[in-house]
Structure 1
């Protein structure tokens, strides 16, 4: 599979989500959210003073945004951006990725290399730590059967939890271990496989439960950052890449890129 370029000219793309006919993603170092249509047209929502990362849409269409270093969750209603939660008292490190469930509850990772946690921000604004002892929790998805899968970057594994009726997490299991590169953003397909952005391996890989790699997309010397499935029938795999795995080295540059690949197995679950 050979990626086709769709958009460029931004600093560090993260957290891609397909919503209402557009791809939405964070420009973490560019302090902005971008949208891109399938013809490559881009618009921007500026977020001065914030380094956005994980994104998720609530059932009412409002967008939740992780402000990484401020350890806040922002809300964008299509016109204004407000702060809807402050999580600094609950988390040991900066915020990373996010996934929002069908009830509007957001699962938010705090990216400590040891002792990382996942916080659930409920629709009522109540925030609770629902998983701990994670090694740099990163990309997350929720399966149609109600399990949350999280990428643990420094552990090089994908970890699965069952979501309780009250939104808590239990029944922790390994989905895949010993990955070839630290996993960052992930997305789920309808066969239950996970497309994984493997940063230092410079590739995107499709991995089934147990760790078998069925497909690879090699990026050469570029770093795989995040991916999601969207577009018509959710068969377009959107790929965000950069020239370095460490965002701070890219401040002031515009070297990130958004590519696409059409896949046979469509997306499933959330996001």
Structure 2
């Protein structure tokens, strides 16, 4: 049983997923498996995964469901059940991890807590320029290289070059809330199962945050690793981002916060259980 199971969500984005998998091949921390939560991708995604299984040391598990629109919460629940580890790191198939990404999650994991990370968002032009060699060499995390590709100066650039004391300090002073972020968070599998996983009514827009809010209601605290566990987010279109889904999800999240709900009846187990803090 590996120490960590990494869940990566994906949908018809082989070019991005390939770059991300190269990032995991480079990890300093090696005791992990990757469970790919595939929300109905075409066969070329499976072909890519098979190639990595045959040519790299990565342990890959491919969980696929029929394409029925944006059903990320549903496939994530299936992926959760497929994880062999007691500890789960969640990210996306468009987030390339720095070589110490899993090392940081492993170092900071602690019973009674989940870890809240962030990402560094790249524009589309730079996202397309990143090749295998830039991932393997770590250049895609180099401010010098990224600025040559057109990256503008910003305080957020500190996410890329902060380590040690600097990253710990920025983790402490950042005003960003310690929420569960689907692109970079981790927690104990039994805690996530205890709240019945993701609410499958929720489509795009905060379904990850709602899971974190139920973890809080369950008594789990969070720790900030925003500037320590670094990944770069490759840009992409978001055709599934609709006003209707955002409004629906906000209403569900409001109910979760106001009622202190722990359990969702629309998660892994489809039954109603009254569990509140």
Q: What TM-score do you get using the length of structure 1 for normalisation?
A: 0.28
Larger strand fraction of residues: 1
Q: What TM-score do you get using the length of structure 2 for normalisation?
A: 0.28
Larger helix fraction of residues: 2
